[in-house]
Amino acid sequence: MQLRLQSFLERPKHARATVIDCRPGFEGPYFEGSGPEDSVCGHCSHVLIRGRLTAYLNLYLCCPSCGRYNLAHGGEEGERA
């Protein structure tokens, strides 16, 4: 299963957003979670997060493949440990 993230062409400027920029040579994924659901770039479907994470919010991940910023907001309501 794949969860397509919302992708943005420009780097987000909100003060409260955490932005992870692309690094040369890094192809991802940025995080490894659990379960079969991968989060992929909304533009090119590159895998950014493998599995599901429950503890991130308002995190923008630069896609190593196309360079767009993808908004990852994870966790299901009530799932907090």
Residues touching Zn ion, count (CB under 5 A): 7
Measured CA to CA, the distance from residue 73 to residue 65 in angstroms comes to 20
19 binds Zn ion per the rule CB under 5 A = no
20 binds Zn ion per the rule CB under 5 A = no
Which of positions 36-75 make contact with Zn ion (CB under 5 A)? 41, 43-44, 46, 63, 65-66
12 binds Zn ion per the rule CB under 5 A = no
User: Residues interacting with Zn ion, by CB under 5 A?
Assistant: 41, 43-44, 46, 63, 65-66
